[in-house]
Structure 1
């Protein structure tokens, strides 16, 4: 698919073999990590230009805008690439739940136990 992403940004991205980069959504004011989605060049372009997070669904093979179905919208506050340009951090103002399960975040329901350091 042809993308309208700025060629200067596209040239910097390091994509997976299927053309995607992981996109971490984080609550802009609290730092809470909300979810991880996937973006290709066009999804990133749409995110940058619409102010709403657009992701690529690997299972459905289609774009989806967070909140279009659920009403749990992500209003984009900033977008940054990590130092390797292989991950996107999208700081958002999350309305409602970020997780498809209805939880605020995808990362609070299955916390793994830590071992004792040094033993």
Structure 2
């Protein structure tokens, strides 16, 4: 049972952002510090990748563990109320992510997914991003 009224829940859910999230902001800081040039949320590409590197033909998706169902603790837990709704919604997110990765790849782009839980150590993140962007 939800402890909030419908209007309170609606107000709270409207605050959940889909762009410029804290994890995206951290990745943006790392990319700028490394000197990479990129665009964000390109609607011309499937899934509106969070970061697009046109000259390299590479994209980065930044995923929140809960919303995209990562295998970590935050990705496997579910809200206590309306479990059926949440399971269906999150499964649609997984299917959409798979479809978008496949389509991006089909168009000749390489992609990287950065999970929210893997951002605890910025130095690791820096290395992973550099290896991805500098690889052929």
Q: TM-score, normalised by structure 1?
A: 0.26
Q: Which one has the largest radius of gyration?
A: 2
Larger % of strand: which?
Answer: 1
Larger % of helix: which?
Answer: 2
